[in-house]
């Protein structure tokens, strides 16, 4: 079974927004970027904007896709295709939903110090080399 995820690398100046996954969820305890599952009939950018708002209450401007990656869950029953878009912060105060325990704006130079879900590093590397 395939699932398509849309994720956002949100930049605000020289910082990137990271969200910490709650214990007991996919990627438990790791740092992630906002986003989630593409729902049936949705366009990827619609999914992205919906997920960002559900998870953070932020408004963003979608700039462009920066990476596409693939992963398989631990039970080897689902394959995930993850599309990461570069977005610019446009406004709003962060209000986390129940999927995340904390957030932080992190300088690109310090982002390697954090334990992240696999597609986050790939997206950051593509962003830095484009």
* DSSP string over 16-70: EEEEEEPTTSTTTTSEE-SEEEPPTT--HHHHHHHHHHHHH--EEEEEEEEEEEE
Separation of alpha carbons 28 and 75, rounded Å: 15
Greater pLDDT, 22 or 48: 48
Greater pLDDT, 125 or 58: 58
User: Would you kindly state where each structural domain of the chain is located, as residue ranges?
Assistant: 2-129
pTM over 0.85: yes
pLDDT score of 128: 86
Residue 26 pLDDT > 80 = no
Question: Each residue of 86-122: pLDDT tens digit?
Answer: 999 999 999 999 889 999 999 988 988 899 988 899 9
Which letter does DSSP use for residue 114 in this model?
Answer: S
Using 50, 70 and 90 to split pLDDT, how confident is the model at 78?
A: confident
Selected from 3.30.420.40, 3.90.79.10, 1.10.10.10, 3.40.50.12280, the CATH number assigned to the domain covering 2-129 reads 3.90.79.10
């Amino acid at each position: 079974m395939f699932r398509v995820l849309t994720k956002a690398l949100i930049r605000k100046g020289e910082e990137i927004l990271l969200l910490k996954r709650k214990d007991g969820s996919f990627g438990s305890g790791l740092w992630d970027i906002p986003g989630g599952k593409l729902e049936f009939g949705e366009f990827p950018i619609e999914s992205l904007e919906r997920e960002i708002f559900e998870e953070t209450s932020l408004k963003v401007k979608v700039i462009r896709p920066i990476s596409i990656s693939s992963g398989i869950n631990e039970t080897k029953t689902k394959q995930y295709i993850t599309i990461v878009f570069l977005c610019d912060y446009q406004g709003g105060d962060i209000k986390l939903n129940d999927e995340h325990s904390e957030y932080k704006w992190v300088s690109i130079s310090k982002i390697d110090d954090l334990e992240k879900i696999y597609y986050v590093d790939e997206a950051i590397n593509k962003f830095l080399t484009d």
